[in-house]
Amino acid sequence: MRDLSRQQTELFFLINAFLLRYEPLELHPLIDADVAEAAAALAGTFETASRGVIYEHRPAGLPADRLATALRPVIAEACQHAGAVNDRDIAVVLRRLEEGARAAGAAEPEQPRAYFDLIGRTLKGRHEMPETTGDADATPAPRLII
């Protein structure tokens, strides 16, 4: 997430949250290589669009192609709400997503879903509401991250 603007960071988290909820049609779950391939193809599409050329890059694998197709409306909706996000910003976010998925896969080659595990741990606390015991004045205990 280094050097990302606020809009790019929001898009990055939105795409990763979508990845956690995404359920592919086929019986096999997505792996990091599929995410990297889909992100690379979409990034290529947005990079060429930023130069004024309309050309849709397609991933070679079917699972990656389905993921890329599912990500397009998510990105379009995010751009409508975010405001000043252009094609280059989207391409930067997708390249970072590709780098992250490839790096996670390279770091743990025996675990094909290492990137999903990473974003699951990272985004876990952002989408869960703290449990309350009924006491309105109770505040969650402070957590120390070492």
Q: How far apart are CA 84 and CA 68, in angstroms?
A: 22
Are the C-beta atoms of 45 and 90 separated by less than 8 Å?
no
How large is the average pLDDT for residues 7-36?
89
74 Cβ contact list (under 8 Å, min separation 6): 14, 15, 18
**Given a cut of 90, is residue 38 above it in pLDDT?**
yes
DSSP state letter for 86: -
133 Cβ contact list (under 8 Å, min separation 6): none
Element (DSSP H or E) covering residue 37 = helix 32-50
Q: Which of 65, 53, 56 is nearest to 25 (CA)?
A: 65
pTM, two decimals, is 0.79
Q: Tell me, what's the pLDDT at 72?
A: 94
Q: How many residues does the chain have?
A: 146
Owner of token pair 């909820």 = 21
pLDDT band per the 50, 70, 90 thresholds, residue 107:
confident
